[in-house]
Structure 1
Amino acid sequence: MGKIAERLTDLVGNTPLMRLNQFKETEAVNANLIAKLESFNPLGSVKDRIALAMVEDAERKGLLHAGSVIIEPTSGNTGIGLAFVASIKKYRLLLTMPETMSLERRNLLKALGAELVLTPGTEGMKGAIAKALQLQTELADAIILQQFENLANPSIHYHATGEEIWRDTDGKVDIFVSGVGTGGTVSGTGKRLKELNPNIKVVAVEPADSAVLSGGAPGSHKIQGIGAGFIPATYNASVIDQVIPVSNDDAIRTSRKLAASEGLLVGISSGAALYAA
């Protein structure tokens, strides 16, 4: 009976690897391309990992307990991950986000039990962050998990994602490529892989229109999920061997090519990572 999960959070992680053989042939790539399918996480993204990790880290530290309120400014997959974790662990969850977020995203979060606080779209995520900080002062026993600063974020990738890749490839990794949003995935995974083999190269991917990791200026772009416009505290530059900026068009085009060649429906940020690879 050990293979039967007791709760959905038990199914986070241990996502499969897949060789992109048909994409490789179509694009005449002279390398073995292997994708880690984070869409196999319960709510469909890599952010399920950090959502669970940040909540359980706060519980261990005594910052979260029965009756606590979780607040997070997020308009992306971290919010979805936190919503399902909070529903299972019975925490009240308040998500602040710009009013410009799609109705579909809002309805999904509400279905998972999250309470949404919408901020003026003209203020962007800065407005959502300010509102979260305000709510924290107004509500008793409230905590902001702060995915861009929380070290439980890169830590879970160090202890889990990196180990999974090493195990499932039998240590046959030459280059690890990842997009940078919070920087947790590339930093934590990259650090662990380099400890296991110092010759592994770690490549960070960012939007060409907001190439702050490359020393450029922040700007608007279409690659949702990466390119926050600043360098997060959870990004460890010492682990990175190369940063590759990718254009909107190249990211979109590559995600469509992957769907056509492998049947994998991925987001634009995955298209950016694959283009860089």
Structure 2
Amino acid sequence: MRGGCAGAKARTKQSHIHTSIQQRLGKIRGYQVVIVTSEKCSIEKQNHIKALNAEVIVVDHDRYMSYGTDYAKKNGYFDVDQYNNIYNPEAYYKSLGPEIWKDTNGEITHFVMTGSTFGCISGTGRFLKECNPKIQVILADPVCSNIYNYYYSNVKNDLSFNLASEEYSIIEGAGKSKPTKCLDFSVIDEVIKISSDFYLPSIS
């Protein structure tokens, strides 16, 4: 089996650079940049954002998404809404998907990815399947995330249905209590459960 992946550290740096540009442009243009996140967000990431003169608001994991939307409406801000913004998966469709296809010379057979907004697996998976429908797109869902339960139920496309539990994934950037609008189940062939112990040793 041949797989495709992008260097995590390199892509993280690229993401930080992209975020830095956005936040600095916001400040230069006189915009107040506010980042709403949950307690899962690392202190290092919070400090990085603050160093760019953006405000960070940390909210309980079960309400930070709705809090961000409400905060933007209340204050007249533009809400990026990464969890439901169609440009999220589209960005990966135009970038990471072609990159993986090129770097593996079109020989990739499986694409395994975790997710939180699910823009990456949805956009990248869609591109790869358009190149070769036989490619298997597999979502690795952490314990206490509910995407596995949604996928193997008959309500996976009903965002109003609540299968959420009181527990939640402790892994930053992975897992959700319910699907986001960025999550395209149609490109996913399988969802597998991964324990937190699988992730934590690789986090330093």
Q: TM-score, normalised by structure 1?
A: 0.59
Is 1:197 the counterpart of 2:145? The answer is no
What's the counterpart of residue 104 of structure 2? 169
Q: Specify the alignment match of 2:178 in structure 1.
A: 230
**AA of the residue aligned to 1:44:** K
Amino acid at match of 2:174: I
Distance 2:195 2:58 in 1: 30
- The Cα of 1:106 is off from its aligned counterpart by 2.9
Decide whether the 8 Å contact of 1:184 with 1:234 is kept in 2. Answer: yes
- Retained in 1: the 8 A contact 2:41–2:172? no
Q: Name the CA shift for 1:201/1:106 in 2 (closer, same or farther; >3 Å).
A: closer
Give the share of equivalent positions with the same residue, in percent: 28
Matched, 1:35 2:35: no
* Whole-angstrom distance in 2 between the partners of 1:38 and 1:186: 14
Contact 1:84 1:112 in 2 (8 A): no
Aligned 8 A contact 2:143 2:196 in 1: yes
Relative to 1, partners in 2 of residues 1:213 and 1:138: Cα closer, same or farther, differing over 3 Å? same
1:214 partner SS:
helix
Matched, 1:124 2:61: yes
**In structure 1, what is the equivalent of residue 191 of structure 2?**
243
CA contact (8 A) 2:169 2:176 kept: no
Q: Is the 8 A contact 1:97 1:125 kept in 2?
A: no
SS of match in other structure, 1:205: strand
- Asked if 2 retains the 8 angstrom alpha-carbon contact of 1:83 and 1:114, the reply is no
Counterpart for residue 22 of structure 2: 85
1:158 aligned partner: 93
3-state SS of paired residue (2:181): coil
8 Å contact kept, 1:222–1:248: yes
Q: What RMSD over aligned residues (CA atoms) do the two structures have, in Å?
A: 2.7
Give yes or no for the alignment of 1:96 onto 2:36.
yes
Contact 1:178-1:203 within 8 A present in 2 as well: yes
Is the contact between residue 148 and residue 192 of structure 2 (CA under 8 Å) also seen in structure 1? Answer: no
| Letter of the structure 1 residue corresponding to residue 103 of structure 2 | D
Deviations 1:23-43 (A, max 9, x none): xxxxxxxx44553114214x5
CA distance in 1, matches of 2:197, 2:58: 30
Does the CA-based 8 Å contact 1:162-1:188 persist in structure 2? yes
Could you list the runs of 5+ residues in structure 2 that have no partner in the other structure?
151-162
Indicate whether 1:148 and 2:83 are aligned. Answer: yes
How many angstroms does 1:181 deviate by? Answer: 1.1
In structure 1, the partner of 2:169 is: 221
Q: For 1:185 and 1:86, locate their aligned partners in 2 and report how far apart those are by CA, in whole Å.
A: 22
TM-score by length of 2: 0.78
Alpha carbons of 1:228 and 1:203: their partners in 2 closer, same or farther (altered >3 Å)? Answer: same
Which of structures 1 and 2 has the larger relative contact order (alpha carbons within 8 angstroms, sep 6+)? 2
- 1:211, 1:138 → 2: CA distance? 30
Question: Structure 1: which 5+ runs fail to align?
Answer: 1-30, 49-76, 256-266, 269-277
Matched length = 188
**Counterpart code for 1:235:** L
- The alpha-carbon deviation at position 224 of structure 1 amounts to 1.6
**Cα distance between partner residues in 1 of 2:104 and 2:95:** 14
Moved more, 240-249 or 31-40: 31-40
